[in-house]
């Protein structure tokens, strides 16, 4: 019973926002007001607790999700402060996967920005309850009402306005609390105390209007409030709070508050809202997973009486402690010295130490249980997304998925000794960051590192050179292209080797088809020309989303073999052979994406056929088919948002026109111009320098991956020419 009471007072929350919306400043104020720190750090001074990495303090942006535990009014709040830069969106994804609630921060001036939308959609996917905090109300041009309307329009959010700002810009002094029907007046210093007074006459009419609107919205989810609303009865503050909490936890509505974290206004009421309205681990549904033995779906409740289950969502290599594994415990409990089982790796490992994290500092504890987010030491095999559990009661929780890198650089060590050191460092970084990939150029033997954007790779390479002290040369960033086909085609692969004794025989015929935006529900029988019926064992009702196609994540293999022309035990080897061939297309050696492979026919030899032979034959058949399917290159297109003073609009638009950017939207707000465009990534290399020059250092921009689009014929020729020259040493 004691444990359940404790869990009711736990809040696992994240704080997310577009870059520069003030998220880390809010985190810093929360730590100060909860007594976690005794001096508030500032982002612009590089002194914040949550941004502890040297690169974060130098650049004033959050790079890695930092976890910290604090207490407010007998509640324990586990906070994860997530990055706002889109290059580090994987940090947000894995944080949201293990959180119960979140605070979405929006700038009162810029409003709902691209990364705000991206993270909001991520939170939707993970069913994370949210409250919104509209920050920077002290800035000139701040417009609370406009931001609320943008939330409704752009995010399709059902907002509940719980506070109204008193003044804006330099005159912002407090907020009207609609629920308690009081004014909150903040002082001008540290904001530790604030006055609660009755609503003044000049604000009463506006407050009454919004209170009636709040009650009207809550009547949609509460019969009791509906009855009182219809009969004109008073709705008590406690009933309002209880209903807001229920609506928030069910993700039906989003409470909205306001303030300015930099000026220490509105943070304590935000903390009150976190404990009042966001869910505890007991309020969210039990986690579901699959039993790897029975294949049946099972659930785990947030209880110490349930078998232990947890998700590893982050790996960090510490120079002193070693490998740190962040886990969210969904059920059961663990203690130091206990063995836990990694289902994916099929391996049991002993927990050596357990920590509560406080950014880069740690508090050692002896045990942890359901609902907690902790770090364990001792798991050497576990990687991001793995489920760890009780070996006697195995379960596999839903894995995390991450976008593929779109940009790469070549990196060469200064000598052999540095090369060995570099490979060790790269392995550690790859473990830490699932969007960071390491590969080898088969032609040159060079090491290639890939990431989500220029800034991502800049941070990675800076860590390699400065933090890990690797002496290496780093090349210029290059685009990670992809390959696709224009038409469907058929291919044949026959692999026959006879060298005395048992030979090798594999014979495969297949068809390759492009997967396009128009396809939603995939049924293998609708994609076969010559065979009207498809084997039931390979029929699929998989849904392909436009988002997956744009991201190049779609691939389907359909077995349409009839009459046993190829034994079923060789089919998986054929699929693996196709996948291997897809890693290097025939146009320029880039991975092939968004294709469907239909295995139509083939033959085998009773003695000589083998998995290896069919693997090779499938690879040959794929390349034969692709050569006939009019292959072409694809390049990543980005959604970019440029923000600058209005006076530079002409210069910015002229430059974007040269880059062949498609203008999607132009907004004017508070003397700023906000331009949203779609543009090829290759055109945006070095844009930070260009924009600084165009705007005298006053402009900024941010990009996120949008889709893969076809490269023009002229541009494809240029890319192939450059590739050929680089391979020939030119």
Strand partners, 80: 14, 67
What are the contacts of 40-46 at 24+ separation with CB within 8 A?
40/190, 40/264
Query: Which pair of structure tokens corresponds to residue 581?
Result: 């061939």
Q: Using CA atoms, how far apart are residues 97 and 373, in angstroms rounded to an integer? A: 12
What is the phi/psi pair of residue 550, to 5°? -60, -35
Range list of β-strands (E), 547-647: 555-559, 595-603, 631-645
Query: Which pair of structure tokens corresponds to residue 76?
Result: 């324990």
Query: Which pair of structure tokens corresponds to residue 233?
Result: 């009865």
pLDDT of residue 717: 86
**Furthest C-alpha separation in the chain:** 101
Sign of torsion over alpha carbons 69, 71, 76, 82: negative
What is the phi/psi pair of residue 46, to 5°? 70, 35
Closest CA to 56 of 38, 67, 68, 44: 44
Sign of torsion over alpha carbons 351, 352, 353, 359: negative
Look at the chain and count its residues. Answer: 730
This model's pTM is above 0.85: no
Q: Using CA atoms, how far apart are residues 503 and 472, in angstroms rounded to an integer? A: 47
Contact present, 471 and 490 (Cβ < 8 Å)? no
Q: In sequence order, which residues have a C-beta less than 8 Å from that of residue 585 and are 6 or more positions away?
A: 482, 483, 591, 592, 626, 631
Closest CA to 191 of 211, 178, 175, 204: 175
pLDDT of residue 94: 74
For the chain, helix (H) and strand (E) counts, in that order, are: 18, 38
pLDDT of residue 97: 84
pLDDT of residue 263: 86
Strands 367-369 and 361-365: unpaired
Contact present, 312 and 325 (Cβ < 8 Å)? yes
Output the CA torsion 43→45→49→55 (10° steps).
80
- Mean pLDDT per 10-residue segment, the chain (730 residues): 70 83 81 70 43 41 61 88 60 80 91 80 87 93 93 93 92 93 80 82 94 94 91 91 96 94 90 96 92 90 93 80 87 94 92 81 87 90 89 88 81 90 89 84 80 82 87 88 94 87 88 75 39 37 63 83 88 95 90 93 91 95 96 90 90 94 87 89 87 85 84 85 60
Count of CB atoms within 10 A of residue 676's CB?
A: 17
Residue 47 vs residues 6, 32, 356, 374, 455: alpha-carbon distances, Å: 33, 13, 22, 25, 22
∠567-571-575 over CA atoms, to 5°? 160
Three-class DSSP category at 43: helix
Alpha carbon of residue 430 to chain centroid? 16
What is the phi/psi pair of residue 498, to 5°? -130, 115
DSSP string computed for 535-587: -GGG----B--HHHHHTT--EEEEE---TTSS-GGGHHHHHHHHHHHHTS-TT
Q: In sequence order, which residues have a C-beta less than 8 Å from that of residue 414 and are 6 or more positions away?
A: 471, 472, 473
Count of CB atoms within 10 A of residue 565's CB?
A: 13
pLDDT of residue 455: 79
pLDDT of residue 543: 56
Q: With residue 512 as reference, give the H or E element that holds it.
A: strand 504-514
pLDDT of residue 57: 40
Q: Using CA atoms, how far apart are residues 435 and 405, in angstroms rounded to an integer? A: 6
Q: Using CA atoms, how far apart are residues 89 and 402, in angstroms rounded to an integer? A: 9
pLDDT of residue 601: 94
Q: Using CA atoms, how far apart are residues 682 and 637, in angstroms rounded to an integer? A: 9
């Amino acid at each position: 019973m004691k444990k359940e009471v404790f869990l009711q007072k736990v809040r696992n929350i994240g704080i997310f926002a577009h870059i520069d919306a003030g998220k880390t400043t809010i985190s810093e104020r929360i730590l100060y007001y909860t007594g976690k720190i005794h001096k508030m750090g500032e982002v612009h001074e590089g002194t914040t607790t949550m941004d502890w990495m040297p690169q974060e303090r130098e650049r004033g942006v959050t790079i890695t999700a930092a976890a910290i535990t604090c207490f407010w009014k007998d509640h324990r709040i586990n906070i994860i402060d997530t990055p706002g830069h889109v290059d580090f969106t994987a940090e947000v994804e894995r944080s949201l996967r293990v959180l119960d609630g979140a605070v979405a921060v929006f700038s009162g001036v810029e409003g709902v920005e691209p990364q705000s939308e991206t993270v909001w959609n991520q939170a939707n996917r993970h069913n994370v309850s949210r409250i919104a905090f509209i920050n920077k109300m002290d800035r000139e041009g701040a417009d609370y009402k406009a931001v609320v309307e943008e939330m409704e329009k752009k995010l399709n959010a059902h907002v509940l306005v719980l506070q109204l700002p008193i003044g804006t810009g330099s005159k912002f002094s407090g907020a009207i609390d609609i629920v308690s029907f009081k004014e909150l007046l903040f002082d001008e210093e540290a904001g530790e105390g604030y006055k609660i007074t009755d609503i003044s006459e000049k604000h009463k009419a506006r407050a009454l209007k919004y209170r009636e609107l709040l009650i009207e919205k809550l009547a949609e989810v509460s019969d009791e409030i509906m009855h009182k609303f219809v009969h004109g009865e008073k709705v008590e503050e406690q009933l309002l709070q209880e209903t807001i909490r229920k609506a928030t936890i069910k993700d039906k509505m989003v409470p909205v508050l306001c303030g300015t974290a930099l000026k220490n206004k509105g943070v304590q009421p935000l903390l009150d809202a976190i404990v009042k309205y966001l869910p505890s681990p007991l309020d969210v549904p039990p986690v579901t997973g699959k039993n790897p033995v029975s294949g049946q779906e099972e659930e785990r409740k947030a209880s110490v009486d349930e078998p232990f289950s947890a998700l590893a969502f982050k790996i960090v290599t510490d120079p002193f402690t070693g490998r740190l594994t962040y886990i969210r415990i969904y059920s059961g409990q663990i203690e130091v010295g206990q063995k836990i089982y990694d289902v994916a790796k099929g391996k049991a490992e002993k927990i050596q130490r357990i920590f509560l994290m406080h950014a880069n500092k740690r508090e050692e504890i002896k045990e942890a249980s359901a609902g907690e987010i902790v770090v364990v030491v001792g798991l050497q095999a576990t990687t991001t997304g793995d489920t760890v559990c009780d070996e006697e009661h195995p379960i596999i929780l839903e894995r995390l998925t991450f976008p593929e890198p779109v940009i790469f650089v070549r990196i060469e060590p200064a000598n052999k000794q540095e090369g060995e050191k570099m490979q060790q460092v790269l392995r550690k970084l790859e473990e830490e960051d699932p969007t960071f990939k390491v590969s080898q150029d088969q032609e040159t033997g060079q090491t290639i590192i890939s990431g989500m954007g220029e800034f991502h790779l800049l941070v990675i390479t800076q860590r390699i050179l400065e933090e890990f002290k690797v002496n290496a040369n780093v090349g210029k960033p290059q685009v990670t292209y992809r390959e696709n086909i224009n038409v469907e085609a058929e291919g044949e692969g026959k692999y026959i080797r006879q060298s005395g004794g048992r030979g090798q025989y594999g014979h495969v015929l297949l068809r390759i088809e492009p997967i396009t935006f128009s396809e939603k529900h995939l049924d293998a029988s609708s994609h076969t020309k010559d065979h009207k019926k498809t084997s039931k064992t390979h029929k699929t009702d998989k849904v392909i989303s436009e988002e997956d196609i744009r991201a190049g994540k779609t691939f389907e293999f359909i077995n349409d073999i009839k009459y046993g022309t190829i034994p079923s035990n060789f089919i998986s080897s054929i699929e693996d052979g196709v996948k291997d061939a897809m890693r290097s297309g025939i146009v320029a050696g880039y991975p092939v994406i968004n294709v469907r492979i239909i295995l139509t026919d083939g033959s085998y030899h009773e003695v000589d056929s083998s998995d290896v032979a069919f693997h090779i034959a499938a690879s040959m058949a794929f390349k034969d088919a692709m050569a006939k399917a009019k292959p072409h290159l694809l390049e990543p297109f980005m959604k970019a948002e440029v923000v600058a003073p209005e006076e530079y609009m002409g210069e910015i638009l002229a430059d974007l026109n040269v880059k062949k950017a498609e203008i999607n939207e132009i907004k004017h707000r508070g003397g700023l111009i906000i331009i949203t465009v779609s543009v090829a990534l290759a055109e945006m290399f070095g844009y930070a320098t260009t924009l600084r020059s165009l705007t005298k250092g006053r402009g900024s921009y941010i990009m996120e991956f949008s889709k893969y689009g076809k490269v023009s014929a002229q541009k494809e020729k240029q890319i192939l020419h450059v590739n050929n020259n680089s391979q020939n040493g030119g």
